[in-house]
Structure 1
């Protein structure tokens, strides 16, 4: 009998790996799809974790990690932003969706769902890549107790790793927007470059601005609200970066962390060699191959707000300049 079977009755076996599907409308009525890992008996002492995906990565990518958290005592919500995976419309061309929509509308809807479906339970958030940025764009960010981000940044091209910078600039800031202009959306699946992606998201990603409020949807959000809502987040925040992640350089991680002005922030930098690996990169953290090495760091942080004593890597000083 597995550890999960000891915790939950066998009737939840199919849900453990894939979750229970749901649909949730955002404030503007857009219907979002996702999955819930829910324990049978409610418990106000049990936290619920919302997982924010990377740009144009389906929430199914995080299912094994979600099942791991579920098996260690959390309820878990995964979901797809509008235009992606379970939240993809029949026609992508003409879909109005941006990075700020993904945070201010879609993630906000998940915070509301967590409050309604798991009343009285603490809300923790895991954000991968842009998902860490999305955590700061919801008006209800004050609800977040603990925040864990992995490789979280908003794709400022000068922050890309130097040895990959110009190739990445050409791919994401030249080729991707040109194809999007021609197609009306970015057909990423056709090229093997992530999921198909809405035009507004491509516009935000490819704009070469060092400040989020200078990205197209960042400007629009500022004009609408007068301020970006990152300061609403007062959580204990752990930002994990991997040294061979060409997106998640120290400068990129710190650039985003600076927006979370009222969070208690820790930046942990891990070398692949610290965990006996030759490479990890930007996407591999959530693969089950790292259940014994990287996932316990995330688990302990979500459980206690602290790092395990034997945590690999080093702390990046908060005074480090960009």
Structure 2
């Protein structure tokens, strides 16, 4: 996938008429929901729920990448559901199912997406699936959001793909200056002109609130150096991320210009109270020419890449003979 391409959304499918059993059921969510965050902002999402409650069955929350709609992960949610998990997906405020009108003047930041929106999902999961283990899959910023929620201590396991917070010096060296111009110069300039980033009309991603753009574009190597990161750290009187103790698998791929080794391990360094494993993949490890930042969640990789996340969520370990190279393991 080209650096200038946006993720290709799967075709929208109708929700199943009733609760799914996971075996032979039509794919797609069994229910939609609206969940208020602590500040009253309504968040839209989808649930894949098995008909019979089981306290041993984990529920997985999928955290999307920045300004990628949660529908992009539907097929992966189907896969997890078919393999015995309940699943929740949702959109951050201002995106997709959680957008309410114009984004001009709409206030939202990366920290809002984590500390308010993901936090609301954690609380919903505890209420709707009482007693069940809670796991998280995070794509790109979605892995960072894990550490921003106050209730993240309840999470059992985390699996991320390309998770980092866009520090420009961590980008792939060959593309660094091009990416700097696109994401740290042109994106904030257009945001200043329109009052939000018109990403959809450019085919880059969904339209994006200006506060999220400020967090992304600020050239600081530490999350607490980003505008909303400073405010969150001051409010918490300490370091976010410290509440997370879940075992973390971070997957990166060599042709992802955002998810370099340095970028992935910069974020992993924040999760100091978690066992952390970094698995580095090369496309040729699975007989492919490219994977990139987005394609991991395309259904063509269901048999070759998705089992890596599935096995981690099931066992908190890598499957025997997993492709790739394990770069970091801390216990």
Match of 1:149 in 2: 160
Match of 1:220 in 2: 231
Provide closer, same or farther for how the CA distance between residues 8 and 83 of structure 1 changes in structure 2, counting only shifts above 3 A.
Answer: closer
Residue 130 of structure 2 corresponds to residue 115 of structure 1:
no
Match of 2:83 in 1: 72
Pairing 1:119-198 to 2, within 5 Å after superposition = 119-198=130-209
Deviation at 1:317, TM superposition (A): 3.3
C-alpha contact (below 8 Å) 2:23/2:82 kept by paired residues: no
Structure 2 length-normalised TM: 0.92
Deviation at 1:18, TM superposition (A): 3.9
Provide closer, same or farther for how the CA distance between residues 37 and 18 of structure 1 changes in structure 2, counting only shifts above 3 A.
Answer: closer
Deviation digits for residues 141-174 of structure 1, max 9, x if unmatched? Answer: 1011000010000000000000110000000000
C-alpha contact (below 8 Å) 2:20/2:48 kept by paired residues: no
Residue 322 of structure 2 corresponds to residue 304 of structure 1:
no
Deviation at 1:13, TM superposition (A): 4.0
Residue 90 of structure 2 corresponds to residue 90 of structure 1:
no
Q: Secondary structure at the match of 1:135?
A: helix
Rounded to whole Å, the distance in 1 between the matches of 2:192 and 2:25 is 45
**Structure 2: 5+ residue stretches without partners:** 1-18
- Please tell me the root mean square deviation across aligned C-alpha atoms, in Å: 1.7
Rounded to whole Å, the distance in 2 between the matches of 1:94 and 1:18 is 32
**Structure 1: 5+ residue stretches without partners:** 1-6
Count of residue pairs brought into register by the alignment? 313
Pairing 1:1-322 to 2, within 5 Å after superposition = 8-9=20-21, 13-14=25-26, 16-317=27-328
Deviation at 1:225, TM superposition (A): 1.4
Deviation at 1:10, TM superposition (A): 9.2
Match of 2:7 in 1: none
C-alpha contact (below 8 Å) 1:141/1:229 kept by paired residues: no
Q: Secondary structure at the match of 2:39?
A: coil
Provide closer, same or farther for how the CA distance between residues 250 and 239 of structure 1 changes in structure 2, counting only shifts above 3 A.
Answer: same
Match of 1:4 in 2: none
C-alpha contact (below 8 Å) 1:137/1:228 kept by paired residues: no
Match of 1:3 in 2: none
C-alpha contact (below 8 Å) 1:152/1:239 kept by paired residues: yes
Provide closer, same or farther for how the CA distance between residues 19 and 228 of structure 1 changes in structure 2, counting only shifts above 3 A.
Answer: farther
Q: Which has the higher helix share?
A: 1
Rounded to whole Å, the distance in 2 between the matches of 1:225 and 1:52 is 22
Rounded to whole Å, the distance in 2 between the matches of 1:235 and 1:13 is 31
